[in-house]
Structure 1
């Protein structure tokens, strides 16, 4: 299965320059020193979750696979490197032939993770693996941060609709990735058409305050919108006076009015008043959508309000205060020599300040209790204990340079819902605390 089979764009440009210069200078030195071909194992993990978070959500795996597949040095890229004298001639020649030919294993997209979880493992020669560090971390750190925020919002929304609408609050390309990550984390739709086009995410949208202000009266604006979009549309009712707008909305659209949107004020109080007014006017099936700088705490505070859906922008696309997951990409094992049959030797950074890592090619499994609820993240380098054999988390994503783990986005979204449901109930509490599962090293 490839991108075309899933209806994804196939004209993705090269991702080779989504990297830091030192990746290429390390490559040059390794080529000259004769170590570039040593078999190596790199792993992606985080040493800690953002403060107060109980679990992480892995998102961006599908985008990583696209990036690896399109990581190539075409003539324009090579000319740039040559003109800037970033690497020497032999290295340019090596890069001109570059195609990743190794293996990638990882947690499937949508899975939850904890400190030390080896969410991605990249295996191949040192040269081909080291080049992928920056682009992999760039994608996973961004997307997983958004997905974690989305998951927290989804958990407290209690099944009410969630609309991602943060495109105007971030970089235009980041907005598309954020929409995708939010969908993995539990959001239902997006206002961003590029995300809908690229990833098939449901899109929604009606009107802003500018549309009401354009018209001579609120009634004229509502009438124009209903005549164009039908009675099932959503009318924005807080441009002037909310109570008057609700009366006008029902007068224009009738009790079949689809929804009203509230974008300001005391949302809890206003939602209750609007619900009572709609019911009195016979519009009992008209839904209430609220927006206005929402985050997971604001959504939780509206649990008792008669709200049917939430639109979230700024806080979602910025990770609700944590725009990165602090994931790192570390060499954890390498061959004892250049001999292709040489055994792997565990390696690890030893340093001050909590930045040490654990060496060795790792597996990961999630132990559960008798009720099937997760109780520990178990990470090891030796044989997998028999009782954890069917609980392993890593799956093959790339084999011999060929992507084998691509899947529809819906699969990642469904997986996340199931993974979150398998955690202890305290995982979705908004109160600060330690990771809901301990990480145990076997």
Structure 2
């Protein structure tokens, strides 16, 4: 039977085998073994120097909403047996979660999330956590490269029409964490407080008998500080008409086609000639971090980014995995376990992680170890923070905090992190 759209449970955002593993573990008596799962990347997407953690806040919300109510259990009636259904009916995550906070930079084998609970409680979260982290971190990683290339010029997220409607909301949130100034997505504004912006499309111009009529209508409604889209017909004539109608107080003109670098120079010169020296030039049209970098010398005041952002600029997932790295032994102590199959090796044991820095504060290595972390010598920054304690969320924070953290973490990286060329991770990951 279909589940009602009114439900708020996240319990079915998972894979069938999570439930069949649970049933088998309940049957064998191993379901309650204390276990440690770790979410981590084995590598960065090809050519990337670093990644960005995003989706932490969404994951915490999802853990809180992971409940098996009557509607959810009805869907699972022919998936698992009655004892398993009865166990699920009272499911509440009661374990502990540590993780890299939102906006932090990550490298290969960074232990981004450490989940400690019974096997039964922790294994059910695998697919949900991976889907959130893989998507949001891919968007944030691309967004970070774009905002780094843009420098002080603002980037606007406008990719909603290029992806799934719910992915669009998550993408807007992740982009904001990584430095985007605003989004076109109103659901992101409602749910997360992401600032939104937007004025008009080509259809608005085409609706009117003349381009001048369209500009008058827009200025009359939205004010002289609005942004006029000037490439529907003839750009030079549109700029002239826009300044004539709005005056030198015209907020911005937007270019959405053509050779943006050449056009930006021409439009800037024309605006200045017309006395609209404070009118900004905004460019859009399938921009990515490379296109943004190529426009660094052009008189551009802001970038609107859509398709390339919401698809991770060629890397729509991060390749994160969620693996059991330790479980309770017969003596009650944790025993390290690890997958050893070819090309998919994991490192067993409950981890700690530090960012090692030079005396000047520049990151030089990701240090990952097992057991008690070393005493802080002043140059190492701890990366794991408590997110959930005894089932209660303790690590929720504002997006503004995550944005600030990202800027600091990115600034801490060596200058090679700013390179758009392909290369190895900007700092090594050392296992100790």
Taking the TM superposition and a 5 Å limit, the aligned residue runs for 1:311-322 are 311-322=304-315
Structure 2: distance between partners of 1:12 and 1:46: 32
Inter-partner Cα distance in structure 1 for 2:159 and 2:88: 38
How big is each residue's C-alpha offset from its partner over 1:128-159, in whole Å with a ceiling of 9 and x where there is no partner?
00000000000000000000000000000011
- Show the 5 A alignment for 1:117-266: 117-266=110-259
* SS class of match (2:114): strand
SS in 1 for 2:349: coil
Per-residue Cα deviation, 1:81-108 (whole angstroms, up to 9, x for no partner): 11xx110000000000000000000000
For residues 205 and 278 of structure 1, do their structure 2 counterparts lie closer, same or farther at Cα, with a shift above 3 Å needed? same
Match of 2:430 among 419, 432, 440: 440
Q: In the alignment, which residue of structure 2 is the partner of 1:8?
A: none
- Distance in 2 (alpha carbons) for counterparts of 1:155 and 1:232: 27
1:384 positional shift: 1.6
Contiguous gaps of at least 5 residues in structure 2: 1-5
What is the TM-score when the length of structure 2 is the normalising length?
Answer: 0.97
CA RMSD of aligned residues (A): 1.0
- Pick one of 363, 381, 400 that aligns with 1:374: 363
Q: CA deviation at 1:12?
A: 7.5
Segment of structure 1 superposing worse, 366-375 or 383-392: 383-392
Match of 1:272 among 241, 246, 265: 265
Measure how far apart 1:330 and its partner are. Answer: 0.3
Q: 1:391 Cα deviation (Å)? A: 1.7
Q: What is the match of residue 60 of structure 2?
A: 65
Residue 103 of structure 1: aligned partner:
96
Q: Is residue 401 from structure 1 mapped to residue 391 from structure 2 by the alignment?
A: yes
Distance 1:291 1:257, change over 3 A: same
Specify the alignment match of 1:351 in structure 2. Answer: 341
Matched, 1:39 2:34: yes
Contact 1:365 1:388 in 2 (8 A): no
Instruction: Indicate yes or no: 2:417 matched with 1:427.
Output: yes
Contact 1:334 1:344 in 2 (8 A): yes
The Cα shift of 1:434 comes to 0.2
1:3 corresponds in structure 2 to: none
The separation in 1 between residues aligned to 2:17 and 2:9, in whole angstroms, is: 19
Query: Shift of the alpha carbon at 1:53?
Result: 0.1
- Residue 328 of structure 2 is matched in structure 1 by 335
1:102-130 superposed Cα distances (whole Å, 9 cap, x missing partner) = 00000000000000000000000000000
CA distance in 2: counterparts of 1:378 and 1:163, whole angstroms:
35
Contact 1:366 1:388 (C-alpha < 8 Å) held by counterparts: no
Whole-Å separation in 1 of the counterparts to 2:247 and 2:415: 43
Aligned residues: 426
Q: Which runs of 5+ in 1 are unaligned?
A: 1-10
Q: Residues of 2 paired with 1:318 and 1:248: CA distance?
A: 36
Q: Is the 8 A contact 1:102 1:122 kept in 2?
A: yes
Which secondary structure does the structure 1 equivalent of 2:76 belong to? Answer: helix
Residue 405 (structure 2) pairs with residue 412 (structure 1): no
**Alpha-carbon shift at residue 388 of structure 1 (Å):** 5.4
Which stretch of the first structure deviates more once superposed, 314-323 or 383-392?
383-392
Aligned to 2:3: none
Q: Separation in 2 of the partners of 1:149 and 1:46?
A: 16
Task: Report the CA distance between 1:386 and its aligned residue.
Answer: 1.8
CA distance in structure 2 between the aligned counterparts of 1:201 and 1:387, rounded to whole angstroms: 36
In 2, are the aligned partners of 1:164 and 1:191 still within 8 Å (CA)? yes
Once superposed, which parts of structure 1, at least 4 consecutive aligned residues long, lie more than 6 Å away? none
Q: 2:381, 2:312 → 1: CA distance?
A: 29
- Counterpart CA distance in 1 for 2:192 and 2:123 is 29
2:50 is matched with which residue? 55
d(CA) in 2 for partners of 1:301 and 1:391?
Answer: 35
Distance of 1:124 and 1:388 partners within structure 2: 31
- The TM-score normalised by the length of structure 1 is 0.95
1:315–1:186 distance in 2 versus 1, CA, 3 Å: same
Deviation, 1:392, is 1.1
Per-residue deviation at 1:382?
2.6
The DSSP-based 3-state class of the residue aligned with 2:314 is coil
Question: Distance in 2 between the 1:391 and 1:200 partners?
Answer: 30
Contact 1:365–1:378 at 8 Å: present in 2 too?
yes
Q: Secondary structure at the match of 1:276?
A: helix
